Structure 1
Amino acid sequence: MTAPSQVDYQDLLRVWREADTIPEIEHAWLFDHLLPIFGDPNGTTYEGWTLLSALAAQTHRLRLGLLVTSNRFRPPALLAKIAATVDIVSGGRLDFGIGVGSRPSWPSARREYEAHGLPFHDTAHAVGSLAEACTVIRRLWTEPEPFDFDGTYLQLTGAFCNPKPVQRPHPPILIGGRSGPTLRVAAEHADLWNIPGGDIDDVVRRSRLLDRYCTELGRDPASIIRSIHLPVSYDQPDITRDAIGEAIDAGFRHIVLGLSAPYPAGVARWVADELIATPARAASELSR
């Protein structure tokens, strides 16, 4: 995962092109913010979906997406069209990441809404509109005829998406977040669920809560892939390797490794050799 902020496009392109040649790296991600949330508050930040489409056209193998799209930024029907376009540009490699958007208590993220004239509704509105967005986006990707939608938060007349995404029935939906209400939405709509790493005990509790919500809905909890974002330490790779091991032991099979800029030369190969291959070799030796 390469946050597209406080960094140049050519540096991002370099890392993604390198990662695209390394089979051990299966997927690559950007984030979705409109202003910096770290570093220089007036520094560079690229619009996520535009950049993702450009990088999709410059790669051939990596699955790719945003971790995660803010449902507050774009009307869901427009977002469905954007995502379908990126899936086509990528040849069917999109993982569609979405979430409620930034926390109200996070001033550095909150300011981007005010700066772009975007409303910032309360949490109940954000979660309810996310559930409706997931419903509408899936229908736009799969239904062959226009339809109307009259929801609590979203009203559409003659909604239609053409062309459809390459992937059938639709691109995998990844929902990111840790709150109980978001986990309820994930239990209903997600193919993958992502949570930021940190306190592994809390991560495990959140995963169990997702299991419970799935059971209440009559859904097999194992049908949702567990995904976790872990920051990479270039200077102390053992810390990152230990975090990867803890996450795998906790049932997380989709590991997103967050790289910080500036990116060292050959960083993707370093990730494969030091953070992916080394733990795999150690696990193989332990199993003998």
Structure 2
Amino acid sequence: MTAPMQVGYADIARVWREADAIEEIEHAWLFDHLLPLGGDPDGPIYEGWTLLSALAAQTRRLRLGLLVTSNRFRPPAMLAKIATTVDVISGGRLDFGIGAGSRPNYPPARREYDAHGLPYHDFDRSVNALGESLTVIRRLWTSEAPFDFAGEHVRLSGAFGSPKPVQRPHPPIMIGGRSSPVLRVVAAHADLWNIAGGGDIEDLARRSRLLERYCAEIGRDPATITRSIHLPVSYDDPGTTRNRIAEARDAGFGHVVLGLPPFYPEGVAGWVADELIKPSL
């Protein structure tokens, strides 16, 4: 994962092209924020889906996505169209990452809503809206006829998606989050579930068990949801990162996203493969 902040476009594109040529690296990610979360608060940051489209056109093999889209930023029907466009450009390599949006108790993320004139509702409302959005997005990707939708948060008339995504029935849906309400949405809608792995590995395992319980309540096999984890990379201490990878895999997280800190050294993708991935296989 290359967070598109405090770096230039050319640096991000270089890392993705390097990674695309390294078979041990299977997927690449951006994030979805509008102002920097770290470093200079007035520093550069790129809009995630626009950048993802450009990188999709410059790669041929990597699966790709945003970790994760804020459902607060874009109306769901528009988001479905954007995601379809990226899936077509990439030739069917999109993993559709989405989440409820940042919590109000994290000021660096909260300020981007005020700065862009975006509403910021309470977290319960944002989680409920996420479920409705996913219902609408999936229908736009799969329905062969226009439809209306009258939800509490989403209302559509004559909604229809054309073209359809390359991937059928639709791109895999990854939902990011750790709260109990979000995990219920994961159980209902996700193909992959992602959680940030900077904390206690036992807490992550407890969250995974909670997801299994929610799956059981709705009659879903929890094995149909891939466990994904985001782990921060240390350039200076790769051994610690390798240990975190091993812990995560032992806890059942088989899909690992390695977050690279900016700035990105020349050859960093090869370094990731040699120092982090190959020793962990």
Quick one: distance in 2 between partners of 1:258 and 1:267? 12
Report 1:121-270 matches (<5 A).
121-197=121-197, 198-270=199-271
Give the structure-1-normalised TM-score: 0.97
Offset from partner CA, 1:17-54 (integer Å, 9 cap, x none) = 00000000000000000011111000001000000000
Q: Which has the higher contact order (CA 8 A, sep 6+)?
A: 2
Quick one: distance in 2 between partners of 1:278 and 1:73? 39
Q: Which amino acid aligns with 2:225?
A: I
2:25 aligned counterpart, secondary structure: coil
Aligned counterpart, 2:39: 39
1:252 aligned counterpart, secondary structure: coil
Quick one: distance in 2 between partners of 1:83 and 1:35? 22
1:60 aligned counterpart, secondary structure: coil
2:265 aligned counterpart, secondary structure: coil
Q: Which amino acid aligns with 1:140?
A: L
Aligned counterpart, 2:89: 89
2:102 aligned counterpart, secondary structure: coil
Question: Structure 1: which 5+ runs fail to align?
Answer: 281-288
Give the structure-2-normalised TM-score: 0.99
1:279 is displaced (CA, Å) by 2.3
1:254 is displaced (CA, Å) by 0.3
Quick one: distance in 2 between partners of 1:208 and 1:45? 36
Q: Which amino acid aligns with 2:3?
A: A
1:123 is displaced (CA, Å) by 1.0
Quick one: distance in 2 between partners of 1:241 and 1:68? 24
1:265 is displaced (CA, Å) by 1.2
Aligned counterpart, 2:6: 6
Q: How big is the alpha-carbon RMSD for the aligned residues of Structure 1 and Structure 2?
A: 0.5
Quick one: distance in 1 between partners of 2:266 and 2:86? 28
Quick one: distance in 2 between partners of 1:270 and 1:77? 40
Quick one: distance in 1 between partners of 2:85 and 2:200? 37
Quick one: distance in 2 between partners of 1:258 and 1:117? 29
Report 1:24-103 matches (<5 A).
24-103=24-103
Offset from partner CA, 1:174-232 (integer Å, 9 cap, x none) = 00000000000000000000000021011000000000000001000000000000000
Whether 1:275 aligns to 2:273 is no
1:132 aligned counterpart, secondary structure: helix
Question: Structure 2: which 5+ runs fail to align?
Answer: none
- % of aligned pairs identical? 73
Quick one: distance in 1 between partners of 2:104 and 2:77? 24
Quick one: distance in 2 between partners of 1:11 and 1:215? 45
